[in-house]
Structure 1
Amino acid sequence: MDLNALADFNLVATHGGFGRASRASRRSKATLSRRVADLEEQLGVRLIERSAKGLELTEAGQLLLSRTEGPMHEVTDAITSAREGAATVSGQLRIAAPLLFSQLAMGRLCADFRALYPGVTVDVVGEDRVVNLVDERFDVAIRPNPRMDTALVGRCFAKDRMVVVAAPAFPMPPPGPAPVDVPAVLSRRDDAPWRVDGGLILMPVPVLSLSSMLMVRDAAIAGAGAALLPQSIVWHQLSRGELVQWGTVADKTVDLWVLHTSRRLASPKVKAFVDFLCARYPQGLLTLPG
């Protein structure tokens, strides 16, 4: 059944005629008459008797009106509520984010976001695997250097430089045309040379392999070896002199993106979070608490 035709029948019946219903709804009498006729055709019964004296509901029309008038009001109220709700930043926002970013940043970010939008509850899952937003019911994903995916859209909200660091007492090799072996603390196997700005080419020789970048940072502070780390997680240690920066590795820059599933009709909570995250890093450079 066409709900629009049923709504027009209720409109005509409650106003007592096509003319009054037309004036109330600001729609033409011809349109309303056609909709009611279509409904009668679908049901196979006469709902309204039209005469020179005016409009009169048939027995079937009276029965249909009595059974649908209340529910149609509820449907109208529900549609209005949905439209109003669609303009409100509220509901649960489920976010997938890399583990390190979650540990160092998401707690404070989510608290500040909730302060702006108290109608939102936030659920963050911090892990490094690539989640399926639709199948796993995530609203938003934060990903470093994401592969192009036509199903997802979003914005790059910050960039993170990768820097080679070491303890102040750890000897820095001189620049030269050939790669220089250097004891290195790694979070994953890296056989590629670190081409540091300034002409230094380092070939990392693993002495420690650790599963967390925070462990790598702490081992570098303790003097175990050089490490290639995001600048965002070592800038405090650099400023305090616990580490020394040997240089930046330009070809390993990390772009952080906030992604969601739709170009059109993204929910207000998703739009609000994307805008909030981008505004949090106005210079486009990632900084994290120490």
Structure 2
Amino acid sequence: MPIRIPDALPATSILEGENIFVMTEHRAMHQDIRPLRVLLLNLMPTKIVTETQIMRKLSNTPLQIEVELLRIASHQSKNVSADHLETFYRTFDEVKDYRYDGMIITGAPVETLDFETVDYWPELVKIMDWSLTNVHSVFHVCWGAQAALYHHYGVPKHNLDEKCFGVFENRLIKPSSPLVRGFNDVSMMPHSRHSETRYEDIVANQKLEVISYSDECGVSIAKSIDSKHFFVFGHPEYDRDTLKLEYDRDVERGLDIKVPVHYYPNDDPTKAPIVSWRAEGQLIYTNWLNYYVYQTTPYDLEAL
């Protein structure tokens, strides 16, 4: 999938170096088709890393996608330059009058906090409410999934006694779902979180269904019955070294952190991590775009 992103965005040169088809704004203007418009609300502190990881996943079907980056205006990011945010990101006030085929809401390192105590919660609620009328389908990741389930459906999250940290085996609860078309019966997904949304709380709501489950770390994928909302509690977009960098950072800080499980050979952090989630990690984004965005979104977005 050629993704249309600003020519000067750091992700552009990284993805081109991986032989991923990144369409320049100039070339996209000369194609007589309507690209899918996808809004990425990036709540992660490592903005450049996260935007690159997700754009990599949006790049493997024959569709053209125009990706716009959205940030929270009520929270000051400390891990990326103000110049990067001003150049490449928009605020809600700048996009609220537009409509989008799809939207992705990332996770955030605030999962132990009550939702209402997160400093940007009121702004996030405003964006989530706006998405009900201005976005065709929304894909939520990790804490973003927990936040959306809580806000839209009243499903609580629960803090864990021990961090869910590693790469976990998942089995399909609903293998007929187009979202997991092409998945193996058992697949792997990275997780890194201190809280969970429980299976029984999700299925108690008749508007929701669980698609995939891990015996070790609980629900991995769920969605709304109407296919408006998708909830992924792990990180299928993670790179090979993402968990390693997080583990090394916490060790350096002197934190009590266990080695991420099922990630290093024999759980030995002196060895290079093995990627066991790449195929399904790609498929979940591709399937969402194909079956739940491209094939169902109106050609005229004003018809949303």
Q: TM-score range with shorter-chain normalisation? A: under 0.3
Greater relative contact order structure (CA < 8 Å, 6+ sep): 1
Which one has the largest radius of gyration? Answer: 1
Q: As a proportion of its length, which structure holds more helix?
A: 1
TM-score normalized by structure 1? Answer: 0.26
TM-score normalized by structure 2? Answer: 0.25
